[in-house]
Structure 1
Amino acid sequence: MKSSTGLRVGTTVLAILLMIGANLAGSSTAGADPGPARVQATPTGLTLDGGDWWPSGFNAYQLATDWSVNAGCGAMVDLDDYFGSLEPQSLTRFNAFARLAVNKYTGQLDFGPMDAVFAAAARHDQLLVPVLTAGDGACEDEAFKDRQWYQDGWETAVPVGSPVRFDQWVSTAVNRWKSSPALAGWELVGEPEPGLCSAGGCSWQTRSCPADSGAVLRTFFDEAGALIRGIDSATPIWAGLIGGGQCGSAGDDYRLVNASPGVDVLEYHDYGSDAVPLPGDVWNGLQTRIWQAQVLDKPLVVTEIGQNAGSCGSVQGRADDFETKVAGQRSAGTAGALFWAFVPDPRPAECTFDIGPDDPVFDLVEDLNTVSP
């Protein structure tokens, strides 16, 4: 029987071999010096190519889905149709998970679908924030990332269905796409929460949140952020936090975590307060998060704004509510707004967050997205 150390070494060697092979067959930008990043984070907002940039756009989580290659995450998207329908220099946040870079037939890394996302975005002068994993495990192993994962699991555990650990995936992804002209930032984890799972499972009802959870999450961002910085010193790192009082980022822990040198852009996710610009309370509301960002001299982008439409409301009414909401947020000091979520196959007969290709929110994105010299 092999020791656990032997298994770990064997897994590491396999992962390295897979990454080397994939990179030899892959992108011409892999390993290249990225040079100056197009997007920069400043105390007052974001810049693009040196001009002030107030970005708007969509979460389009399924862009890297290719059923002929990977296990997918949602429906397949015609990339040129999607990026071509957006105002140039809009922003899209998408899932760039290791699982979506695995060929479902061979079990080995296959970057084709993700390379296609970056290439299509670049063709249409669009910007991307790739999210490298999700806190809830969606579209990966479906396992919630708990306290232990943020302490050391991200460097030691190989998720089910992936040939690499998370730290290896971060290194691989950053090396591969750091030179892409479409790159606007890196997001380590979408909606991280270092909760402590109980014996009964890891649903939110059964998790607990130790008092030092903010410190655990801060250390993770310090260390994982340094991993990115060692490969790409210029591209902003986005925090991924919901901002509404979740484990590890409630109250002043939000400031503690975002003070990390591994965070450049703060986030807030806005659901359930239709047409209300500044939702939440004095401890965890958006206004408080904006103040905390100002104290840290870092910009805050509302990276998820969601409202149901379809059978429960008109898409035009939703677009109008979004416009009211974002106008108030921008006036209060936010640095951008992304809507949840573009899908190529919206369900108008159901009550969903779906934003389809002909949705009036596309017109709103065009009006909101601004770049000034």
Structure 2
Amino acid sequence: MAGDPLTRWFRACVVLVAAVVVLVTGGAANAQPAPARVGANGTGLTLDGAPWWPVGFNAYQLATDWSVNRGCGAQVDLDAYFAALPGVTITRFNAFSALATNKFTGAVDFAPVDAVFAAAERHGQLVIPVLTAQDGACEDDVFKQRGWYVDGWQQQAPGQTMSFQDWVDTAVGRWRTSPALAAWELVGEPETSVCPGGNCDWANRVCPPDAAEVLRTFMDDAGARVRALDPGRLITAGLTGGGQCGTQGDEYRYIGESPNVDVLQYHDYHADGIPLPGDQWNGLARRIDQVQEIGKPLLVAEIGQAAGECLSYAQRAADIGTKIAGQRAAGTAGALLWAFVPDPRHDECTYDIGPGDPLYDLLDAYLPDPPPTT
């Protein structure tokens, strides 16, 4: 399904040329990748070679800097955010090309994303940068359809500073030197559907027969570009996992078998207090079985439950605690909560997790004990 030998040879040549181009363009791309602190050992993860079951937050807003970019939510005090995290955690954040574009000049400006990596490094924390999102939020607001995964990702769209292919090369070449880098994520919640008439509401989308093949080829080819530039780093597929187009049923395993996918994901909403949500075909229990069959870790990279006006924060922490305990016992490899914001809306019912939320104490309970002092 991934192509004949000649096609694979051609793709390999393209990736090699891309790697050479990035390496000779100067700047951070010339530096060697930092040693990878996070690894995969079968269906589990490791930190500095030791078994590790990571926890943390999604904090998509971290690269917002209103003095530079269009932003993605509120501006965050980066040092305050990372300093408040208990122990060594993982933070998953948006590192889109739009957030590395100066809104006044239209030129590339790495400062906002650079600042996230620098703050994480200062506080000994780890991050997963998401290089683009399926729905186009905080970018061009265009939902990605099948054609984007076929070859659109290699083309520069009007109004963009570069193609996604070029952004992958640029981002990996620049931030592979950071000791805070846990893994790369190409696309958050990818799916290869088609939107008849341009209406991409979920009920209007059509899933083409070759959806899985298209997504697998994308993961093979785009992942190969990452691998060529940062060969020791993990690549995580940001799959929702609930039966979306291209990952339905056994297609999820097929995507996970890509040589350029090291860690799979599942995103868990609307099943408060239930550790293993979903049905027998696309539920979390089935996904755990599939990753065990192929021998790769499964990170529950988004766990979201609404609280505020509708539910106490203490009750949310108890529900999520029940969920995480059950998922860990069932064989998942870690859990990240959705989503930290610096300005939680306490008078509304939202997924917001603000400073001091009881969920901080919940995460702290899952962190390994620090090494004894001598």
TM-score between the two structures when normalised by the length of structure 1:
0.91
Return closer, same or farther for 1:372/1:265 CA change in 2, 3 Å cut-off: farther
Return closer, same or farther for 1:53/1:132 CA change in 2, 3 Å cut-off: same
Query: Hey, what does 1:144 align to over in structure 2?
Result: 143
Look up the equivalent residue of 1:274 and give its one-letter code. Answer: D
Q: Once the 2 structures are TM-superposed, how far is the Cα of residue 200 of structure 1 from its aligned partner? A: 4.7
- Counterpart CA distance in 1 for 2:176 and 2:124 is 16
- Counterpart CA distance in 1 for 2:198 and 2:85 is 46
Matches within 5 A, 1:261-280: 261-280=259-278
Conserved 8 A contact 1:221-1:260: yes
Query: Hey, what does 2:78 align to over in structure 1?
Result: 79
Look up the equivalent residue of 1:71 and give its one-letter code. Answer: R
Q: Once the 2 structures are TM-superposed, how far is the Cα of residue 31 of structure 1 from its aligned partner? A: 2.6
Query: Hey, what does 1:243 align to over in structure 2?
Result: 241
Kindly provide the CA deviation profile for residues 174-220 of structure 1, in whole angstroms up to 9, marking residues without a partner as x: 00000101000000000001101212522222210012211110000
1:284 partnered with 2:282 = yes
Return closer, same or farther for 1:125/1:324 CA change in 2, 3 Å cut-off: same
Query: Hey, what does 1:258 align to over in structure 2?
Result: 256
- Counterpart CA distance in 1 for 2:312 and 2:61 is 24
Identity of aligned residues (%): 62
1:52 partnered with 2:51 = yes
Local SS of the residue matching 1:87 = coil
Conserved 8 A contact 1:52-1:371: no
Query: Hey, what does 1:120 align to over in structure 2?
Result: 119
Query: Hey, what does 1:4 align to over in structure 2?
Result: none
Matches within 5 A, 1:205-244: 205-244=203-242
- Counterpart CA distance in 2 for 1:361 and 1:203 is 32
Q: Once the 2 structures are TM-superposed, how far is the Cα of residue 307 of structure 1 from its aligned partner? A: 0.3
Query: Hey, what does 2:154 align to over in structure 1?
Result: 155
Return closer, same or farther for 1:203/1:371 CA change in 2, 3 Å cut-off: farther
Count of aligned pairs: 350
Runs of 4+ in 1 over 4 A off after TM superposition: none
Q: Once the 2 structures are TM-superposed, how far is the Cα of residue 44 of structure 1 from its aligned partner? A: 3.0
- Counterpart CA distance in 1 for 2:369 and 2:154 is 39
- Counterpart CA distance in 2 for 1:39 and 1:234 is 10
Return closer, same or farther for 1:160/1:367 CA change in 2, 3 Å cut-off: farther
Local SS of the residue matching 1:119 = helix
Local SS of the residue matching 1:133 = strand
Kindly provide the CA deviation profile for residues 232-266 of structure 1, in whole angstroms up to 9, marking residues without a partner as x: 10100000000000000010000001110110001
Return closer, same or farther for 1:372/1:248 CA change in 2, 3 Å cut-off: farther
Moved more, 286-295 or 201-210: 201-210
- Counterpart CA distance in 2 for 1:148 and 1:360 is 43
Query: Hey, what does 1:130 align to over in structure 2?
Result: 129
Conserved 8 A contact 1:186-1:235: yes
Query: Hey, what does 2:93 align to over in structure 1?
Result: 94
- Counterpart CA distance in 2 for 1:184 and 1:317 is 31
- Counterpart CA distance in 1 for 2:36 and 2:95 is 19
Conserved 8 A contact 1:96-1:114: yes
Query: Hey, what does 1:203 align to over in structure 2?
Result: 201
Local SS of the residue matching 2:318 = helix
1:187 partnered with 2:189 = no
Q: In structure 2, list runs of 5 or more residues that go unmatched.
A: 1-17
Q: Once the 2 structures are TM-superposed, how far is the Cα of residue 160 of structure 1 from its aligned partner? A: 4.7
Look up the equivalent residue of 2:36 and give its one-letter code. Answer: A
Local SS of the residue matching 1:282 = coil
Q: Once the 2 structures are TM-superposed, how far is the Cα of residue 370 of structure 1 from its aligned partner? A: 3.0
Return closer, same or farther for 1:235/1:272 CA change in 2, 3 Å cut-off: same
Return closer, same or farther for 1:200/1:81 CA change in 2, 3 Å cut-off: closer
- Counterpart CA distance in 1 for 2:220 and 2:325 is 33
Q: Once the 2 structures are TM-superposed, how far is the Cα of residue 371 of structure 1 from its aligned partner? A: 7.2
- Counterpart CA distance in 2 for 1:160 and 1:345 is 34
Look up the equivalent residue of 2:174 and give its one-letter code. Answer: R
Q: Once the 2 structures are TM-superposed, how far is the Cα of residue 36 of structure 1 from its aligned partner? A: 3.1
Conserved 8 A contact 2:133-2:188: yes
- Counterpart CA distance in 2 for 1:200 and 1:306 is 29
Query: Hey, what does 1:111 align to over in structure 2?
Result: 110
Query: Hey, what does 1:171 align to over in structure 2?
Result: 169
- Counterpart CA distance in 2 for 1:188 and 1:38 is 19
Local SS of the residue matching 1:239 = strand
Look up the equivalent residue of 2:141 and give its one-letter code. Answer: E
Q: Once the 2 structures are TM-superposed, how far is the Cα of residue 159 of structure 1 from its aligned partner? A: 3.6
Q: Once the 2 structures are TM-superposed, how far is the Cα of residue 369 of structure 1 from its aligned partner? A: 2.7
Conserved 8 A contact 1:102-1:162: no
- Counterpart CA distance in 2 for 1:248 and 1:372 is 42
Query: Hey, what does 1:364 align to over in structure 2?
Result: 362
